[in-house]
Chain A
Amino acid sequence: MLDTVQADALDNLRLELRRGSLVLAVLAALRNEQYGYTLRRELAEHGLEMDEGTLYPLLRRLEAQGLLMSEWRAHEKRNKRFYRLSPDGRRILLQLMAEWQHLDNSVRAIFQENHHGSH
């Protein structure tokens, strides 16, 4: 059993680990146009729960950085804001995916090397 201090440390580390991954997930999900609520649902369906207080500020930040484009449009009798990747966003997403793969390979290699070394 983890004590409270360890549980807090784990929560913080998990949060740090998720932070960068969530940006990648959001960018990847927005290759197809979506509005905020459906985006949240899609992320949740893939195991990435994200509350609206985190998602919407992130969308705004990515839009301000020119990675996303948004548009208010009527849908199912209500106005909704639709987001999609911008051309710059597509390029950045590809680079980030490459970086993600590189990090994943490196961590796996380090982990496996140490795992074998310890036996």
Chain B
Amino acid sequence: MDLINRYLQAVRFWLPRKQQDDMIAELSEDIRSEMEERSRALGRPLTEGEVEELLRQRGSPILVANRYLPQQSLIGPLLFPIYRFVAMVVTLVLLVPMFLGWLVTLLSPGFGAIRSHHWLSLAGLTWSHLWTGWFAAMGIVTLVFAILERTHAQQHILECWNPRKLPPVRHPSLIPRSTSAIELAVNLAVLFWWTANMAPPLRFHFGELFIAFTAQWAIFFWATLALTLANSVLASINLVRPFWSTPRITARLLVDLIGAVFFCWLLRAHIVAAVVSLTFTPEKTLAVTQSMNYWLARMFPYAVFACIAVAAANLWRYVHLKKKPRARSPQAAAV
């Protein structure tokens, strides 16, 4: 009997106060009825071990109590998909910039000093900030959704919709014509501006300041001109045929990669030949020129990182298109 009372007491702890007595009385009666029946069948009272086994079969006190309670959840099944989506967006918004910042710091030339200190400490600090920020953000998001759940606001949210306001059918290979038109306009503008203002030999006058570039500028000039022209052609084709195809994705990938390589090369090519001013001494002219080339070179890791990001985006598009070779038109996708 002591075991049963202890069991009932443990179940009672988890039950709502107002219904505890009623529920425990009923549970107690059920256990005793079962014991009586078993006892009758055996022709003797149950041993303590048999009572223990009987209670074990009924389940742990918290489980038994839980079955008496109404089903509760912090965020219910109606809101959960929205919660999961928001949580994913919050995680990405927090994680991606922090990860990028960490990577850029690792790649930057000034990291040498940090590296000598200890790169692990930087990683630890970044992760510590990340976790703190992430937990705080997720806590707020969870709290907001829990409040929505409690106030039954989800009914209102889920009922306020209009079929006409649903977004259009998305298709992975569709290129919006507006994007192609803007791309074409920008490339043509760059093409004219570049030809008119950046042709070699390149020299700039800013008041009394004169900046001259080395002969290597010609390589960059012609490469950029060719690439801008290629981009304009590609944008024109995309405007007429607004679906990515393997040749066009490959062409875009190549154009972007070649452009990235040239840009990275430019940063390290000591492209500034001289920065001259009437007020500069020859030593200062040399120092300013070296300083400009030095700062351009320092931007190299960031440029490499940006190039990797562009290449990755292109590759992702390529892989994505390759995965769905049959769904190349919105009609096919919609069906």
Bound CA span A56–B27, Å: 8
Interface size grouping (class) on chain A: 10 to 19
Q: How far is the CB of A56 from chain B (nearest CB, A)?
A: 6
Q: How far is the CB of A70 from chain B (nearest CB, A)?
A: 9
B33 CB–A CB distance under 8 Å: yes
B58 CB–A CB distance under 8 Å: yes
Partner of A79, one of B29, B30, B59, B69: B29
Q: Are B63 and A36 in contact (CB under 8 A)?
A: no
Dominant SS at the B interface?
helix
A53 CB–B CB distance under 8 Å: yes
Q: Are A37 and B25 in contact (CB under 8 A)?
A: no
Q: Are A53 and B30 in contact (CB under 8 A)?
A: no
Task: Please name all residues of chain B whose beta carbon is closer than 8 Å to the beta carbon of A79 when the two chains form the complex.
Answer: 25, 29
What residue in chain B is nearest A72 (Cβ atoms)? B25
Q: How far is the CB of B85 from chain A (nearest CB, A)?
A: 26
Q: Are B58 and A53 in contact (CB under 8 A)?
A: yes
Bound CA span A36–B29, Å: 9
Fill in one digit per residue for B58-72: 1 if any A CB lies within 8 Å of its CB, else 0: 110001100111000
Q: How far is the CB of A35 from chain B (nearest CB, A)?
A: 7
Instruction: List A residues 41-70 near B (Cβ within 8 Å).
Output: 51-54, 56-57, 60
Partner of B58, one of A40, A52, A78: A52
B34 CB–A CB distance under 8 Å: yes
B26 CB–A CB distance under 8 Å: yes
Partner of B29, one of A53, A54, A57, A80: A80
Q: Are A57 and B30 in contact (CB under 8 A)?
A: no
Fill in one digit per residue for A69-86: 1 if any B CB lies within 8 Å of its CB, else 0: 000100000111100000
Instruction: List B residues 15-49 near A (Cβ within 8 Å).
Output: 23, 25-27, 29-30, 32-34
Q: How far is the CB of A57 from chain B (nearest CB, A)?
A: 5
Given the known interface contacts A53-B58, A53-B63, A79-B25, the answer about A60 and B30 at a Cβ–Cβ threshold of 8 Å is: no
Q: Compute the total of residue contacts between A and B using a CB distance below 8 Å.
A: 41
Q: Are B25 and A53 in contact (CB under 8 A)?
A: no
Q: Are A53 and B26 in contact (CB under 8 A)?
A: no
Bound CA span A57–B66, Å: 10
Task: Please name all residues of chain A whose beta carbon is closer than 8 Å to the beta carbon of B69 when the two chains form the complex.
Answer: 57
Task: Please name all residues of chain B whose beta carbon is closer than 8 Å to the beta carbon of A78 when the two chains form the complex.
Answer: 29, 32
Q: How far is the CB of A38 from chain B (nearest CB, A)?
A: 8
Q: Are A53 and B59 in contact (CB under 8 A)?
A: yes
Given the known interface contacts A37-B33, A37-B34, the answer about A54 and B67 at a Cβ–Cβ threshold of 8 Å is: yes
Bound CA span A8–B35, Å: 33
Q: Are A37 and B58 in contact (CB under 8 A)?
A: no
Q: Are A57 and B67 in contact (CB under 8 A)?
A: yes
What residue in chain A is nearest B34 (Cβ atoms)? A37
Q: Are A56 and B29 in contact (CB under 8 A)?
A: no
Q: Are B68 and A35 in contact (CB under 8 A)?
A: no
Q: Are A52 and B68 in contact (CB under 8 A)?
A: no
Partner of B68, one of A40, A57, A80: A57
Task: Please name all residues of chain B whose beta carbon is closer than 8 Å to the beta carbon of A72 when the two chains form the complex.
Answer: 25
Bound CA span A37–B23, Å: 14
Q: Are B58 and A35 in contact (CB under 8 A)?
A: no
What residue in chain B is nearest A58 (Cβ atoms)? B67
Bound CA span A79–B27, Å: 12
Q: Are A35 and B29 in contact (CB under 8 A)?
A: yes
Task: Please name all residues of chain B whose beta carbon is closer than 8 Å to the beta carbon of A36 when the two chains form the complex.
Answer: 26, 29-30
Partner of A37, one of B29, B63, B67: B29
What residue in chain A is nearest B23 (Cβ atoms)? A56
Q: How far is the CB of A80 from chain B (nearest CB, A)?
A: 6
Q: How far is the CB of A93 from chain B (nearest CB, A)?
A: 23
What residue in chain A is nearest B64 (Cβ atoms)? A53
What residue in chain B is nearest A56 (Cβ atoms)? B26
Bound CA span A61–B32, Å: 23
Residues of chain A touching chain B, judged by Cβ–Cβ distance below 8 Å, are 35-37, 40, 51-54, 56-57, 60, 72, 78-81
A35-B33, A37-B30 given; name 7 further pairs at CB < 8 Å: A36-B29, A51-B58, A52-B27, A53-B59, A53-B64, A78-B32, A80-B33
A-B contact pairs, 5 of them (CB 8 A): A36-B26, A52-B58, A53-B64, A54-B67, A79-B29
Residues of chain B touching chain A, judged by Cβ–Cβ distance below 8 Å, are 23, 25-27, 29-30, 32-34, 58-59, 63-64, 67-69
